Structure 1
């Protein structure tokens, strides 16, 4: 089935009690044994499994074309649990432009524990190849990257990882399984902050790991999920299953609007550069065309007159909301460097935008007036 059909078909509940079309929420934390001590429905305790979380994990695996999915309490919890499956002394390769929370995990939690890591430009395959060590066990791709929207060649990097005996994981949050399926391109694991597009309404915190096949890595991470307990809650799982049903429609509409906004900004004299892989001027345009259906609904711009001008632009918007996060139905804008803090590598004049479901003409008009009114007196 196509992803649009799977999103609906896989979500159909099997409700023997009422025949409900929408799945019921199972909030119970514990489940009754039969007289012989067995568990007839397969559930023991909510940390181990829950009907809503099981349904979510199955749906996510189906969408990404994977063997199995694991749902966590946040995207960070998912990433942390995957890194826990490595061993002290292992080496991780990660992009030089990645969600700032991922290298923070490596530096603050795992480096003292014994993991080493290297940051590299994932768009440069020779740099990736030369950065692989004998003890490299994981190559972590993020494409499009956050916040510069660099495009990495997933299949080529997965091949390099496997040649070195390493696993390859991809943060697919910005693309979603509707626009890009890294497992089909050779990745072993896909991570999503399902808080973003999969939830889609800025009202649920969760994350997932989806595995291509039944292997040692999957079983290790599954065990750590059970022991660590950072699992998605029943109501969060229910909200995410509801979000999946409209994922394809939302993401395709948002992507089309983002392209229109990016084209407008690329022509604006106050804009230094637009980072959007759907523009032919983008360095990763050709690779994006090869591995993505559409180029997504995220973009970033660098304002010509510097950091203060960028902050003024964000301060003048009326339809966009000044807020962190992305992937919801509302359009968001933020001065990214100030969010990431003093150690950021993000350009100080950069604004990151998450395009929602508003009309493209209205968003363009809002940015146009903001850019005009933000000019220095």
Structure 2
């Protein structure tokens, strides 16, 4: 969201306006006082086009989409050759996933001023509609313009990655990485993209310096920490990997994580029988009244399709037994392999047990169908 605010404020600043209302609204926007912009507005029709754009942004930031559209339309009517109101309206429509509506708006912006940001807006819209060739075409055009800031190439890399065209994605990420500001979101996106793909290709030695650089820039970069854990575990450097795991546990305990990273993180990635195996560790641990999964081996039969999982499940220990039972889940049901582990178990021991199951060298001792 901060990047979005900076982008729209920059967009408005690209075209100089000396109207007093615009100067006031610009100052309020920089401090994100959106309600104040609305409050001081009494007669919108008397505002300059630039001020109307800031007013539209204020309504948008307060999730009043219909009012935002009305105001952007007023701005474009007052200054029909000014691309800002079209760009801002199109960006809002993209954020609200109204991609079909966004396309003609960005096309109007391009009619006023051909720019990289308008092509990027079109690329986002076409990508949202799953029209990938058109999206790549728009983003490529954006990347070739003088005002391109590198964002278009980052998005191209993401699209190639989603299509599992890893080498193309890597080529784009490496190309754009050196052109991006190191303190920006796009730089991190490109670097994380490189790490993910190099790890997937088994070239973790190439991912390592990129992760190290991210952690030098920001020692609290938790996404980079997860990549470091994966690299260390692939290198069997469990001591270093566990040190970064401890930092993730502390961050989760202190409420510094969100999304899936607040529940689990990837600790290993390897191939078995031409299938990808992604290994996750969950933060939940210790005594519990309910069963929970701790270490989860996810076997993928396609890049985005889970074939089965093999996981350590917490169960109330019987007498002196270890608390985690190795179990499996697939379309046929749930199985118990009769092997127990605890938090002190070495990862290599657990991974060896899972590989024996995958190779049919260890059979289940119990099971239940769905």
Q: Same fold (TM over 0.5)?
A: no
Which entry has the higher C-alpha Rg, 1 or 2? 2
Structure richer in helix, relative to its length: 2
Question: Under TM normalisation by the shorter chain, which class is it?
Answer: under 0.3
Q: Structure 1 length normalisation: TM-score?
A: 0.26
